[in-house]
Each structure stands twice: as C-alpha cells, then as structure tokens.
A and B are shown apart, each in its own frame.
Chain A
Amino acid sequence: MNRVLVWVPLAVFAVLVGFFFRGLDLNPGEQPSALIGKPVPEFLATDLYTGRSLSNKDLPNEAFLLNVWASWCITCQVEHPYLTELSQTLPIVGLNYKDTIPASTNWLAKLGDPYQMQISDPDGRLGLDLGVAGAPETFVVDAQGIIRLKIQGEINDRVYERDIQPILEEFTP
C-alpha cells in the first residue's frame, strides 16, 4: 500500500508539469484585445513633423504595422534597428505616444526615421481608443484596415517569425 502511495506526489506533479508546459504556449500576455478583427478606430490627429491633420484615410492601403512608441521608452530604442530593417519590406506607421514634439523629433533625427508616417498623440487619446497600456505596442493591420494582432513589448525577428508573419500570410490575398 505504502509502496504505491509514496509515488502519488510525483504523479500529481507530473500532471501539473504537463499543464504548465501546455500553458507556456498559451501566452496570456496576448490579451484577446477587443479590437482584433475590427477596423482601426476613427481618429483625427496631427502629423508629428508638419502638424497637418491626419485621419484613417491617410493610413496605407496595404498591410502595415502600427507601432506605438515614445522617446522615453527604452525598449522602443531597442527594437528600433529591427523596425528599420523591417521597414524595407513592410510599411510602418508610428504612433508617437504621450511624448513631446522636440523630444521625439530629436530621437528620430538621431536614430533615423523608418516610419512611413508619424501620428502625434501627445495626450494619449488615440492610444486610449486603441487600448494601449504602454510603449512599445504594435498592431498588425491588414490591407482592408482591420486590426489582426496586437503585440505588447519588443518586436524582434523571433516575434516577427512566430507571430507577425503567419498573420500577414493568412490575411494577405
């Protein structure tokens, strides 16, 4: 009897490990954002450089990334070289989030500007509509202007290959 009982804790632990292993793939960080499958919310904002007003009509007519960034955000600096590389093949729209114009334009002047367009969102109003919790966050938007994926945190080639590329392939006709 005891011979069998002493194995029970190990068996219970093994079952738990099974669940944990499964759980690792189910990243809860990918919150099922309420915006997935919906178009980019209506907005009226200004261009960071020119001050010209921008709206949904100005967004690219092909699939693109909407990257929420700020000059105060260290991780944005970390992902910046990768975004620069990515911008060769995929348009990237910047959403300059809770930032000031001099700080952000200096930042872009220093590190380079891979963005096709820069939406200025100094008080985070558009960010609020998008459910942005912090920077960086990146939305994958398809050619029809529908949000397909939201990524919190750094974009790198691992994230791109694992998460972004499959989505782009799935939703590109």
Chain B
Amino acid sequence: MILPEIGHFALVLAFAIALCQAVFPIYGYYTQQEGFMATAKPLAVMQGLALALSFGLLMYGFLSHDFSLKYVADNSNLDLPWYFRMSAVWGAHEGSLLLWALILALWGVAVSLLSRGIPEKMGSLVLSVMGMIAVGFLAFMLFTSNPFVRILPFMPGNGADLNPLLQDPGLIFHPPMLYMGYVGLSVAFSFAVASLISGEFDSSWARWSRPWTVVAWAFLTIGIALGSWWAYYELGWGGWWFWDPVENASLIPWFIATALMHSLAVTEKQGLFRRWTLLLAIAAFSMSLLGTFLVRSGVLTSVHAFANDPERGVFILGFLVVVVGGSLTLYAVRASKVSTPGEFGWISRESFLLFNNLLLTVMAVSVLLGTLYPLLVDALGGDKVSVGAPFFNAVFVPLAAILVSGMAFGPLSVWRQSDDPKLFRPLIVTLIVSILGGLLWPIIFENEFATGTAIGVSLAVWVAIATQIDVFRKVRAYGSLKTLLARVERGIIGMWMAHLGVAFMIFGVVMVENHTEHRDLRMGAGDTQVLGRYDVRMKGIEIIQGPNYMADQATFEIYEGEHLYKTVYPQKRRYNASSMVMTEAAIDSGFTRDLYIAMGEPLGGGDWAIRLSVKPFVNWIWGGAFLMGFGGFVSITDQRYRRRAKKSGASAEAGGAAA
C-alpha cells in the first residue's frame, strides 16, 4: 500500500530536481559560475532516476493489481494478461504523460553522458532548456493528471479493464517509439535555443544536434509505421492510414524533422541556412507539443481520443505559449543577428535541399491546416465540419510526387555549383527506364492499368535507380564496395537506405491503393468464395473463451487450387469488463500480398457478414518505413561524430576563451 506513495513522491522529487536543472545551469551561465553550470549533468541523471523509479512503481501497481490506484482501476483488470498490464501503464492519459516525462528525462541522461565533446557552457544550457520543458510537463502531471491518485477507502475489487483496442502487441511498442521520436526532438530544440541564448551560431551547434535529430527522426519514423501497422490489423477496416487528427499530429513533426535533417546537413557542411535551420529545430519540437495539445486537450475529436478535459487543455495551451512563444520570441530577437555567409548557384546541392525543405514545409503546413480546419471554422462561428481523406490526398499526393522526383537530384549533385551536365547524365536513361517500368508493370503483375500506379511505380523505380547510381559512383571512387562500406560516412549509407525505403513505400502505397481486391459477403459454414487465385472456404463458427473476453471464432480454409494453403481464424471478440466488441482480423502476410479476412456482423441463421481482401504489396509500406528508420540509426554509428566533436569542442572552447 505504501509503494504508490513512494512513486508519487518520486514524481514530486523529479519535479523539484527538474526545477533545479532548469534554473542552476542557466544562472551559472549568466553569472559565469562554473560550479552552477556543472550541476546540469548530475541533476539530469538524478531526474532520470527519480522518474524511472516512479514509472517502475506505477508499473508494479499494474502488475500487482493495486486497484486502490484510480489509474490502475480504470485501465486494468484481474483477467488482463501480464504483458498488457505492463503496456497498460501508457494506455491512457496520465500514464502516457509519465512515459513522456520519463523519455524526456532519459534523453537528458543521454545528453549528459554523451556530450563530453561539447563545451561545458553549451551542454549545461542545453540541459537547462530540457529541464524547463520537464518542469512544465511534470507540473502538468502533478496538477491535472496525476497517475497516483488513490481510490480510498473504498477501492474497487476489480478494474474496468484496458480499452480493448489497446490490448494488442502493437500498443506495447508503438507509443514508446513514437514518444522517443516526439521527445527526442526536444534535444535539437534545446540545442537551437541554447545557441540562441549564447549567441554562438557557427556550424558547431548543427554538428552537435545533427545525430540527435537523426535518432529522434528514426524513432518517430518507426513509431508512426508501427501505429499505421497497428491500425491496419487491429481496427478491422484494413486501412493503413486514416488521416485521423492523432495520426496527423505525428506526421506534422515528422515532415518538419525530415526537413530539419536535410537542412542541418547544409548548415553543418556549408554554414548556410542557419536561420532557417534554427527555426526548423524550434518548429519540429513545437509541432510535437502541438500534437500533444491537440490529442490531449479535446480540441479535436478522433478515434484515438482517450481522455479529454478542457482544464488540461488550458494548461497545455499555456505551456505551449511559454515554450513555443518564448523560443520564437528569442528567435525573433536573436536570429536577425545570424549572418549567413557564402552563396550557392542555382543548380547545386544547396538549392536541391532548399527545394526539399520548401516542399516538406508546405506538406507539414497543409496537413496542419487540414487538421485544424474544422477547429478554425468552428471558432469563426461556422458549422462543425470535418476534413477527410479526399482533401489530404488531393493536396498531398502531388506534393509528394514532386518531392520524390527531386530526390534523384540531391544526392547526385555537388555543393555550391553543380551545373556540370555530366553529373546528371545517367538520369536521362533512368527517366526512360522508370517510365517504361511504370507502363510495363501491369503486364508483369497481371493487373489492370491504372494511371496512379503507372506514375507511382515510375517514381519508385526512379528513386531506386538514382540511389543506385549514387552508390555505384561512390563504389568507383573508393575502389570497391568493401572499402566504400568501411570508409564512407555512415550518414551516406543511412541516406541510401532511407531513400530506398521511400521507393519501397511508394510502391506499396500505390499498389494497395489501386489494386486491392475487396469484397463484403454473406457467408455461412460450408460457403466457398473465390478470392484472386485462392478459394476461401468458411468451415464453421465456434465460441471460444479468451483470458478476458469471449469470441466468435470462424475457421477459414484457404485453398490454392486443390491444395490447402492455410487455415486462419478471424475473431469477433467481446471483452467481459467493458462489453466492447472488437474485430480481430485474420491476416496471412506475404511478400507480395496480404490476405485479409475480417468478421462483420452476425446476419442470423449462422451466417456472418465477412470482409475478404487481397492487399498487394501492403507490407512494403511498413518495410519501406522501417528501412528509413534503420537508415537513421545506421547514420549515427559514424565514428566521425565522436572524433570531430572532440576536436572542434576543444577549438570552440579555445575560441570562447579568446573572445
């Protein structure tokens, strides 16, 4: 009974530590007292430990069925299996905030442990900014969303159970990954704010924040992909993206972070775009916070909304004003002093990356506007409207196509002046091959011709070949593939992976969107339907008992000609505690297609409405996204970060001393 109180106390302690972490280092910076600045790292580590304790005790509350905790009583149940009791910790509002705060603290610990190459002044300012963010979030939790609220003395004997939608392995990993991404962007943000405070805008801050940004981006990419995968197999509609406000809230920072990654490359290598990069670093994290606000305040409704409360909304909005408004004010005051030396030609890697940045920003803004439009109309006194997939597809698909066409040029161009036609000559052949590929693909795959598919497949081939050309050129320059892999910057390898990932993803998307075979049927025991090259036979329905649900389970046999290919078991579950009904689709995943069988409603007489689909290449969507994310992880394994950071750290310190 005392353990939750310790957890609560650890949370309060973390708040107090965060307060010190926010104040001491920056006080030390302004009064030039190294002793105060040096507190930053140990405080960051202590905050991490306190939150880890608090989080661990909340999880223990779930594992030990401590229903005196309101949060546990609302989101767990005696019948809930242990692994879902663990993931239930972040299954609702309060706990997911605690996870958010824990991850923020862990990023702080990582910064304090891995920032040896960074000057003390900079490092402590960065941790101070991260401390300020933590103060806001921990205060939000303690004052409006405390997960340690008790129901005493009348504690319930059993809990209300975790939302059945969330009782899924996908939920174990999706939120932590997504939050790693969201919150990881706070590091780039803190570096940007710290450099605005200190007035040191040389390229070193770009070099320091680049690996952090790439890691955060990689987590965000994988987190979004997991979310999409989860929606695909758990929501029972077979879609992979719904343009739901919550999904959009994660997509907007992803676009900005993608732009930031590319812009940081320019700032680091060429010292250009400094102001713009600073703004992107601020914007990327601001968009994560905005996403949190939109999801948690109840300003927008969504299939994902768990707990909405206007009081919390006011708090997050206030927090948003302080963090985003504060940093943008600082930006406005300081950024005009940032000089951007050097020029670049009309055709150069800089200009291609500028083009990339503009498009990604426009995409982010259009998703933001589409998401907020209902709110804006409502606020202006109009009707309650909703903006759906047609809007997003209409705006988004052309922008993405333009962006992807440009992807071939960036890697093949060189810095500053890149108007030598030899650089781009192979692209003429690539263009012809990719257009032919798009046109001939229906013959290879034996499906009907669709313009969207032709364009999409052409784009995918275009990017894939252009990436190969770059690889080939580098191989030639290094002598062999082996030397290339050993010597080339890992960031380049990461980029190749990510760009190939984009190609795979586009291919998957156009195939699924244009060639999904889909039927809603009435089926009873013994009925057989033809689905593509398969015969699907419904064998029967039985009632089965799960740990915390009852289910109608159908048995389907899938025949390929005469040969029984596979037997699958879709379910319609009814969860005992909440009475919620969930569709558990049966999916046979494959490299070239998924077979998707979901149960609809009982139609009487033992018949059911059954949804059958063949989704060609659907796994390429997530495969591509994972490849992108892994590319990000590969790129930070580069030795040069550590080595160069040390050298330049020393020189920056020397420079600081001279000034």
Contact B301–A28 (Cβ < 8 Å): yes
| Chain B positions within 8 Å of A28 at CB level | 298-301, 378, 384
If A6-B336, A27-B298 touch, whether A19 touches B376 (CB-CB below 8 Å) is yes
Interface residues in B312-343 (C-beta closer than 8 Å to A): 313-314, 317, 320-321, 324-325, 328-329, 331-332, 335-336
A24 interface neighbour in B317, B324, B325, B332, Cβ under 8 Å: B317
1/0 contact trace for A1-45 toward B, CB 8 Å?
011001101100110110111111111110110000000000000
B160 within 8 A of A: yes
User: How far apart sit A99 and B577, CA to CA, in the bound complex (Å)?
Assistant: 10
Contact A2–B578 (Cβ < 8 Å): no
* Distance from B157 Cβ to chain A, minimum over Cβ atoms (Å): 11
If A6-B275, A27-B310 touch, whether A13 touches B328 (CB-CB below 8 Å) is yes
B156 interface neighbour in A2, A22, A27, A77, Cβ under 8 Å: A77
Tell me the nearest residue of chain B to A22, going by C-beta: B379
A108 within 8 A of B: no
A74 within 8 A of B: yes
Contact A10–B379 (Cβ < 8 Å): no
| Chain A positions within 8 Å of B279 at CB level | 9
Secondary structure at chain B's binding surface: helix, strand, loop or mixed? helix
| Chain B positions within 8 Å of A124 at CB level | 579
* Distance from B91 Cβ to chain A, minimum over Cβ atoms (Å): 14
If A2-B336, A6-B275, A20-B293 touch, whether A26 touches B379 (CB-CB below 8 Å) is yes
* Distance from A16 Cβ to chain B, minimum over Cβ atoms (Å): 8
A90 within 8 A of B: no
Contact A10–B310 (Cβ < 8 Å): no
Tell me the nearest residue of chain B to A18, going by C-beta: B379
B619 within 8 A of A: no
Contact A26–B378 (Cβ < 8 Å): yes
B288 within 8 A of A: no
B73 within 8 A of A: yes
Contact A13–B308 (Cβ < 8 Å): no
B74 within 8 A of A: yes
Count contacts on A: residues with CB < 8 A to the other chain: 32
User: How far apart sit A24 and B74, CA to CA, in the bound complex (Å)?
Assistant: 25
User: How far apart sit A21 and B293, CA to CA, in the bound complex (Å)?
Assistant: 11
A150 within 8 A of B: no
| Chain A positions within 8 Å of B293 at CB level | 20
Contact A74–B313 (Cβ < 8 Å): no
A72 within 8 A of B: yes
Contact A10–B329 (Cβ < 8 Å): yes
Contact A9–B332 (Cβ < 8 Å): yes
* Distance from B256 Cβ to chain A, minimum over Cβ atoms (Å): 12
B570 within 8 A of A: no
Contact A6–B317 (Cβ < 8 Å): no
* Distance from B577 Cβ to chain A, minimum over Cβ atoms (Å): 6
Interface residues in B576-599 (C-beta closer than 8 Å to A): 577-579
B471 within 8 A of A: no
User: How far apart sit A134 and B156, CA to CA, in the bound complex (Å)?
Assistant: 19
| Chain A positions within 8 Å of B282 at CB level | 9
User: How far apart sit A29 and B307, CA to CA, in the bound complex (Å)?
Assistant: 10
A21 interface neighbour in B73, B283, B317, B325, Cβ under 8 Å: B317
Contact A7–B159 (Cβ < 8 Å): no
Contact B314–A17 (Cβ < 8 Å): no
| Chain A positions within 8 Å of B87 at CB level | none
A148 within 8 A of B: no
Contact A23–B299 (Cβ < 8 Å): yes
Count contacts on B: residues with CB < 8 A to the other chain: 41
Contact A24–B283 (Cβ < 8 Å): no
B372 within 8 A of A: yes
User: How far apart sit A85 and B282, CA to CA, in the bound complex (Å)?
Assistant: 50
| Chain A positions within 8 Å of B332 at CB level | 6-7, 9-10
B375 within 8 A of A: yes
B297 within 8 A of A: yes
If A9-B283, A74-B73 touch, whether A29 touches B375 (CB-CB below 8 Å) is no
| Chain B positions within 8 Å of A7 at CB level | 332
User: How far apart sit A124 and B74, CA to CA, in the bound complex (Å)?
Assistant: 22
If A24-B310, A26-B379, A29-B298 touch, whether A73 touches B331 (CB-CB below 8 Å) is no
User: How far apart sit A151 and B579, CA to CA, in the bound complex (Å)?
Assistant: 20
Interface residues in B115-159 (C-beta closer than 8 Å to A): 156, 159
Interface residues in B28-84 (C-beta closer than 8 Å to A): 70, 73-74
Tell me the nearest residue of chain A to B320, going by C-beta: A17
Contact B156–A24 (Cβ < 8 Å): no
User: How far apart sit A9 and B520, CA to CA, in the bound complex (Å)?
Assistant: 49
Contact B325–A13 (Cβ < 8 Å): yes
Contact B328–A9 (Cβ < 8 Å): yes
| Chain A positions within 8 Å of B275 at CB level | 6
User: How far apart sit A28 and B325, CA to CA, in the bound complex (Å)?
Assistant: 26
* Distance from A97 Cβ to chain B, minimum over Cβ atoms (Å): 9
Tell me the nearest residue of chain B to A31, going by C-beta: B301
User: How far apart sit A146 and B156, CA to CA, in the bound complex (Å)?
Assistant: 36
* Distance from A96 Cβ to chain B, minimum over Cβ atoms (Å): 12
* Distance from B581 Cβ to chain A, minimum over Cβ atoms (Å): 11
If A17-B321, A74-B159, A74-B160 touch, whether A29 touches B328 (CB-CB below 8 Å) is no
If A32-B384, A72-B579 touch, whether A13 touches B324 (CB-CB below 8 Å) is yes
* Distance from A112 Cβ to chain B, minimum over Cβ atoms (Å): 12
User: How far apart sit A28 and B295, CA to CA, in the bound complex (Å)?
Assistant: 12
Contact B379–A23 (Cβ < 8 Å): yes
| Chain B positions within 8 Å of A73 at CB level | 160
If A9-B283, A28-B300, A29-B298 touch, whether A3 touches B379 (CB-CB below 8 Å) is no
- 16 CB < 8 A contacts A-B: A2-B336, A9-B279, A9-B283, A9-B328, A13-B328, A17-B320, A20-B317, A27-B298, A28-B298, A28-B378, A29-B298, A31-B301, A70-B579, A72-B578, A73-B160, A74-B70
Known: A9-B279, A20-B317, A98-B579. 13 other contacts (CB 8 A): A6-B275, A6-B335, A10-B331, A13-B286, A16-B372, A19-B372, A20-B297, A21-B317, A22-B379, A24-B299, A28-B384, A72-B578, A73-B160
Task: Give the interface of B toward A (CB within 8 A).
Answer: 70, 73-74, 156, 159-160, 275, 279, 282-283, 286, 293, 297-301, 308, 310, 313-314, 317, 320-321, 324-325, 328-329, 331-332, 335-336, 372, 375-376, 378-379, 384, 577-579
